[in-house]
Amino acid sequence: MQTSDTLDNTPSMSDPSIIIDVQNIKKKYNGHTAVSGISLAIAQGSCFGLLGPNGAGKTTTVEMMENIIDQDSGKIFYKGGPRNKTFNQEVGIQFQHTELLAFLTVEETLKTFAAFYDTPLPVEDMIALCMLENIKTSLNNKISGGQRQRLLLSLALLNDPDLIFLDEPSTGLDPQARKHIWEIIRDMNQKGKTIILTTHYMEEAETLCDTVAIMDKGRIIAQGSPQSLIDTHCQDMDGPWNLESVFLKLTGKRLRD
């Protein structure tokens, strides 16, 4: 089994094909190691999936990449340099848990967030893209969980970001709505946007991602394309094989423990 130490093929930060370059980042909370020396080089225009059981360190890793929390050590570069105000304008983030103002409607929420950016996309376009037409006049506290997910996705895309972080983007959606979210993500990716997503749905990662990294106990234990991981780790297992087979073999845990 490979570890993050053997997977560190990080190009130099001058490589123009790399949009975000993570170099040996570490993080501890109250003496507990949440992230233990992770290195990642994520290519411009790729869809990258970060997978792992609960408590593996995924959220901490992504929050450091998003510049929400500071790493204890290591470095993170964006487009070859330090993250600055440009990073905040060029990045879109869909949080799994975001508090929305109850007294605002869906449309008012989009207009409020649009004011934070220099060149936001038209709110009407976001409403259409994420199928919010029927609820645009609804208050935020009156929409369903699935509708809320679509609203959060629209907020993440509002500034036309180059780099998009999606934290479990299809959680709570019915199959039809999930497929629509996948279509949006594919479309963004085909337009050259870089996607970094976390998900517990292995089918989602296998369908959307060019590359996935599997974390456990604060380290990356495997990384590659979904098919390469299947080919590498499932030859001694009864088929049919898929990314879930790899995940369960390497982590020894159920998907939602």
Q: Residue 14 above 60 pLDDT?
A: no
The more confidently predicted of residues 236 and 51 is 51
Q: Residue 1 above 70 pLDDT?
A: no
Q: Residue 12 above 80 pLDDT?
A: no
- List the beta strands (DSSP E) in 80-210: 91-94, 163-167, 194-198
Q: What is the pLDDT of residue 5?
A: 41
Q: Residue 221 above 80 pLDDT?
A: yes
First to last CA, the chain: 22
The more confidently predicted of residues 240 and 37 is 37
Q: What is the pLDDT of residue 236?
A: 82
Cβ neighbourhood burial of 199 (10 Å; 0-12, 13-18, 19+) = buried
Q: What is the pLDDT of residue 197?
A: 95
Give pLDDT tens digits for 170-189: 887 888 889 989 999 999 99
The more confidently predicted of residues 34 and 1 is 34
Q: Residue 24 above 60 pLDDT?
A: yes
Q: What is the CA radius of gyration of the chain?
A: 18
Output the CA–CA distances (angstroms, integers) from residue 175 to 38, 75, 239, 246, in the order listed: 34, 39, 25, 24
Q: What is the pLDDT of residue 253?
A: 58
What is the CATH class of 18-251?
alpha beta
Q: What is the pLDDT of residue 90?
A: 94
Helix (H) or strand (E) holding 112: helix 106-114
Q: Is 216 helix (H, G, I), strand (E, B) or coil?
A: strand
Give pLDDT tens digits for 120-172: 999 999 999 999 999 999 999 999 888 998 999 999 999 999 999 999 898 87
Whole-structure pTM value: 0.88
Instruction: Give the mean pLDDT of 78-102.
Output: 89
Lowest-confidence pick of 30-34, 71-75, 163-167, 249-253:
249-253
Distance CA 45, CA 65 (A): 17
Q: Where are the alpha helices (DSSP H) in 20-105?
A: 58-65, 85-90
Q: Residue 2 above 80 pLDDT?
A: no
Instruction: Give the mean pLDDT of 98-108.
Output: 91
How high does pLDDT run on average in the chain? 89
